[in-house]
Amino acid sequence: MDIGAFCVKETILECPQDKSVYFSKDLRNLVPAYCTFGFDVIEYVGKALFLHSRNNREIMKKLASKNIAISEREVSYLGQKFITYLAIAHQESTDKLRHSMEKRGGYILHVDGTCEGDSPHLFCGLDGISEIVLGAIKTPSEKKEELIPFFRRLKNQYGTPIALVHDMGVAILAAVAIVFPGIADFICHFHFLRDIGKDLLLHDYQIIMKRLKKFKVRSSLRRRASYLKNKIGEDEETIIKFRQALEEGTFTSDSLSRIPTAATYLLINWAFESSHQSQGYGFPFDRMHLDFYLRLKEIHQLLGSIRDIHLRNKAKDNAPFLRVWQFLDEVIQDKELIDAVASMEAKVKVFDKLRNALRIALPEGKNGLNDEGDETCLKTIEKEVIEFRGWVLSDKERKKTYVKMIAQIDKYWSKLFADPLVVNTAKGPVFILPQRTNNLLERFFRLMKRLGRKKSGTASLNKMLKTVLADTPLVRNLENDKYMDIILNGCATLSERFSQIDDRLVREHIKKAQDNLKKNSEEVKKIILLPDLPSKIFTLFKGHCKTQANGHLRS
């Protein structure tokens, strides 16, 4: 990075007795064996790709300004090398990481995974106390059989955790029970509440969505709004006068003729503004389509009242009001919609009551998906949930409606509430309370996806998750000073630390990762290169059908 491209003549010595080969130590401190780019270039490319979200072309231009010529493909390859060097440095520091966590009393293992479309699952384990990523794997699917070896590896490397935090995935629960029996096991309160809400509200919500879609409400109102906007034209004064009239409570005679057009246009836009009622939690905490319907209902009632006034006064300028009211009237009178909305509104009141009891993802909350719940004592929260449970069961009809919700609460009760954990440290006993949510990993995955979209310029991360190395989540640790002190092992920079790693290990790791990526595609290639593939498939199926027919005859 300091001098750009340069040529080197290296003298390699060989011992005539045992044939040992001796390379230049100074050169090996700068560049890996058989490589063109130095350790500092690898470090720069890795940080640019994974910490600063630069794309390959941007990195090429930056390196070109430093007299380093590099192709896009080479940038990608150096990114892989960076992750591989980091993973080996991490692996070599396992004992020190374990000792560091033991000094604090142990670690709380947070586990979670992410995928997109048909991509593999990127599954990650993180210490909830130090917030250090301990390890990661890529699996074809989130199955117990895939997770058990990963959990065992973490257990062998870092010891048994003092507790675990995760979502309600069946595979995770099963794998944890096998690998960590008897260990304090907690489920994320946010995930728990979200799953209960989905089970409770999704059926009614889907009906509302389907009925609104059937009537083409959004597209029809957008077309109507566009027509009204064109009718108002560039005359901003009409909108200004309308705002003034709303503030003063009366219209001036010169603006009356344009009032119906402006009012209808503004009401339609007000209906679409319902999406901003959401608090950023996602469904079932945010109910965008229900909120939209309720605004339509309010507009329908208002326009109906205005229509009646106009009819009584024989006003002739009510056409904009009337057309929208007529369209909405059919929607609002739909029996399926009425029933679904009534059912959902009743269930929402109960669900929001549970949200308040759990003191997380509250209706008035502003933290969105980063909500970790307020700092209310867990015993107080437990008491409020007990009261909520009693309230539901106190009424026969209510009990019948929400029996599944109560069963879900009872099933996971021991994983929701627990006393603080007492751990022994060098300074004496310490009380540790695991975090109520798995937001540490959720935030990490959201950041990783956001940076991936920024780098690739595409919304889908399917391809990225298919090609990314399993150890990529370790880059999150580079912003942790304590972690850096451990893995640098006395070195001043990552590039200096990388130079201490046997480059043969790096080549082996990269080859293994590439082989795993090519495994399936190579098998496909072998098949599609077979001569006369269509006829061979036909012969195969023909023979299979004939065998089946003979089997039926014998039976």
Q: What pLDDT shows up at residue 192?
A: 93
Whole-angstrom distance, CA of residue 382 vs CA of residue 394: 18
* pLDDT surpassing 50 at residue 555: no
Mean pLDDT over the full length of the chain: 86
Average pLDDT (6-32) is: 91
pTM across the whole model: 0.80
Same domain, 232 and 162: no
How confident is residue 116, by pLDDT bands cut at 50, 70 and 90?
Answer: confident
Does 8 map to a domain? no
Tokens of 125: 């384990």
Average pLDDT (498-524) is: 77
Same domain, 87 and 28: yes
Q: What pLDDT shows up at residue 140?
A: 85
Same domain, 165 and 221: no
Same domain, 171 and 111: yes
* pLDDT surpassing 80 at residue 522: no
How confident is residue 530, by pLDDT bands cut at 50, 70 and 90?
Answer: confident
- Say which range, 69-78, 109-118, 295-304, 457-466, has the weakest mean pLDDT: 457-466
How would you class 166 by CB atoms within 10 Å of its CB: exposed for 0-12, middle for 13-18, buried for 19 or more? Answer: buried
> Which residues have C-beta within 8 Å of that of residue 388, sequence separation ≥ 6?
353, 354, 357
Site of tokens 């009925």: 211
Q: What is the 3-state secondary structure (H, E, C) of 207-226?
A: HHHHHHHHCCHHHHHHHHHH
Q: What pLDDT shows up at residue 347?
A: 97
Q: Choose between 39 and 462: higher pLDDT.
A: 39
Give long-range contacts, CB 8 A cutoff, 24+ apart: 375-379: 378/417, 378/418, 378/433, 378/436, 379/417
Tokens of 19: 């044939």
| % of the chain surpassing 70 pLDDT | 87
Does 405 map to a domain? no
- Sort strands 163-166 and 108-114 into parallel, antiparallel or unpaired: parallel
Same domain, 298 and 311: yes
Tokens of 339: 């029933």
How would you class 375 by CB atoms within 10 Å of its CB: exposed for 0-12, middle for 13-18, buried for 19 or more? Answer: exposed
Does 281 map to a domain? yes
Same domain, 222 and 283: yes
Same domain, 103 and 49: no
Same domain, 48 and 18: yes
Q: Choose between 4 and 481: higher pLDDT.
A: 481
* Ramachandran angles phi, psi of 173, nearest 5°: -60, -40
Whole-angstrom distance, CA of residue 191 vs CA of residue 317: 53
Give long-range contacts, CB 8 A cutoff, 24+ apart: 208-216: 208/289, 208/290, 208/293, 208/337, 208/340, 208/341, 208/344, 209/289, 211/331, 211/334, 211/336, 211/337, 211/340, 212/289, 212/292, 212/293, 212/331, 212/337, 215/330, 215/331, 215/334
* pLDDT surpassing 90 at residue 466: no
Q: What pLDDT shows up at residue 339?
A: 97
> Which residues have C-beta within 8 Å of that of residue 118, sequence separation ≥ 6?
462
Whole-angstrom distance, CA of residue 435 vs CA of residue 425: 20
Average pLDDT (145-159) is: 95
- Last-in-domain residue among 276, 299, 333: 333
> Which residues have C-beta within 8 Å of that of residue 169, sequence separation ≥ 6?
113, 142
Q: Choose between 483 and 523: higher pLDDT.
A: 483
Does 17 map to a domain? yes
Complete DSSP assignment for 51-117: TS---HHHHHHHHHTTT----HHHHHHHHHHHHHHHHHHHHHTHHHHHHHHHHTT--EEEEEEE--T
Tens digits of residue pLDDT in 172-196: 999 999 999 999 999 989 899 999 9
Tokens of 466: 């298919």
How confident is residue 352, by pLDDT bands cut at 50, 70 and 90?
Answer: very high
How confident is residue 439, by pLDDT bands cut at 50, 70 and 90?
Answer: confident
- Cite the beta strand spans of 2-48 per DSSP E: 13-14, 21-22
Whole-angstrom distance, CA of residue 365 vs CA of residue 383: 22
Neighbour tally for 331: CB within 10 Å: 20
Whole-angstrom distance, CA of residue 135 vs CA of residue 38: 27
Tokens of 7: 């040529």
Does 424 map to a domain? no
- Say which range, 18-22, 89-93, 388-392, has the weakest mean pLDDT: 18-22
Q: What pLDDT shows up at residue 181?
A: 95
* pLDDT surpassing 80 at residue 26: yes
Q: What pLDDT shows up at residue 277?
A: 82
Q: Choose between 224 and 248: higher pLDDT.
A: 224
Does 151 map to a domain? yes
Same domain, 63 and 28: yes
> Which residues have C-beta within 8 Å of that of residue 127, sequence separation ≥ 6?
101, 107, 108, 109, 110, 134, 158
Whole-angstrom CA distances from 524 to 258, 426, 465, 530 are 67, 57, 20, 10
User: Strand, coil or helix: what is 249?
Assistant: coil
Q: What pLDDT shows up at residue 243?
A: 73
Complete DSSP assignment for 156-186: HHH---SEEEE---HHHHHHHHHHSTTSEEE
Does 402 map to a domain? no
Tens digits of residue pLDDT in 467-500: 788 899 999 999 999 999 999 999 999 999 999 9
- Last-in-domain residue among 268, 302, 333: 333
Tens digits of residue pLDDT in 315-325: 555 677 888 99
> Max Cα separation, the chain?
115
Q: What pLDDT shows up at residue 104?
A: 87
Whole-angstrom distance, CA of residue 373 vs CA of residue 376: 8
* pLDDT surpassing 80 at residue 254: no
Same domain, 87 and 117: no
* pLDDT surpassing 80 at residue 431: no
- Last-in-domain residue among 333, 356, 390: 333
User: Strand, coil or helix: what is 235?
Assistant: coil
Range of the domain at 178: 95-188+438-456
**242, 263 in Cβ contact below 8 A?**
yes
* pLDDT surpassing 90 at residue 427: no
Whole-angstrom distance, CA of residue 226 vs CA of residue 222: 6
Degrees, nearest 5: CA angle 32-498-64: 65
Same domain, 222 and 300: yes
- Say which range, 147-151, 296-300, 329-333, 374-378, has the weakest mean pLDDT: 374-378
Q: What is the CATH number of the domain that holds 121?
A: 3.30.420.10
Same domain, 329 and 228: yes
Average pLDDT (349-374) is: 85
| % of the chain surpassing 90 pLDDT | 51
Q: How many domains does the chain have?
A: 4
